[in-house]
Amino acid sequence: QSKANNTLSPDRRMYYYSSHDYTVLALLAMLNQQRDVYINAGSALIYELHRNPSTGQLTVQVLYVDGDSPDLNPQDIDIAGCDFPCDFHQMMKITEKYYNISDWEEECHWERTRS
């Protein structure tokens, strides 16, 4: 959201994160991509934010690279409920339940024990 609003500080063109296979599976699940497959080492999930220079419209393109693929070519990921490329604001609506959490204890089914 900060990148889209030009309020990101420090502003960068790219961010890289390293994670485990379960994190990649969780990010795919956020996009309604249910995969009962093994995520190979070296696999990548790429989120690209594009701004149309004429209209200023923001779109998101999600790509997956299978680390075991011989050519390592990125494959487009279809985002359920969104056209291709996906409108940024529509993507935010689709994924809101995963990032707009107000009660973490309820979300994680965690109860405090009293001493």
110, 101 contact by CB (below 8 A): no
Task: Give pTM, 2 decimals.
Answer: 0.77
Structure tokens at 24: 């990649």
Nearest to 49 by CA among 1, 109, 7: 1
pLDDT tens per residue, range 10-69: 778 888 888 888 888 888 888 888 766 788 899 999 999 999 999 999 999 999 999 999
Question: Which residue in the block uniquely carries the two structure tokens 């309820």?
Answer: 106
How far is 14 from 28, CA to CA, in rounded Å?
20
| Cβ–Cβ under 8 Å, residues 61 and 50 | yes
Of 15, 16, 20, residue with least CA distance to 67 = 20
Structure confidence at residue 112 (pLDDT) = 64
